[in-house]
Copies of this chain bind each other. A is one copy, B any other.
């Protein structure tokens, strides 16, 4: 009853996305899997729809994806070497923001938070 078929290509891509701890771009995948770029883009779209992966947009405007079975977290991004480090934020940001948002009758559902700076190597 699952309309998604587990093709060779799909499993290879999923394996890579599951095993790579940090967000992967379409181009990264293209270099590692012998498949047409059209297929990469279509598979990424399909996997997002299926809830297997999540898109993460970086400020260099590259769109990357990471496995969806991760806990909610954020990223530290080195502005020099582009290294990405996962980080979890201790407080409930949405709850804090909802207080100000309520004044405008805005209902917050999700948020997106990234930090920029220098990694150990680059400082």
Name A residues whose Cβ lies closer than 8 Å to a Cβ of B. Answer: 57, 59, 61, 63, 74, 76, 78-79, 85, 87-91, 93-94, 96-97, 99-101, 104-120, 123
Contact = CB atoms under 8 A, between A and B. Distances in A.
A79 B109 contact: yes
A118 B96 contact: no
Nearest to A57: B59
Chain B CB within 10 A, most for which of A106, A107, A109: A106
Chain B CB within 10 A, most for which of A61, A100, A119: A100
A97 to B, nearest CB: 6
Contact of A111 (B85, B88, B116): B116
15 contacts: A57-B57, A74-B97, A76-B97, A76-B101, A78-B106, A85-B106, A87-B100, A89-B93, A101-B117, A105-B119, A107-B118, A108-B115, A108-B116, A109-B118, A110-B116
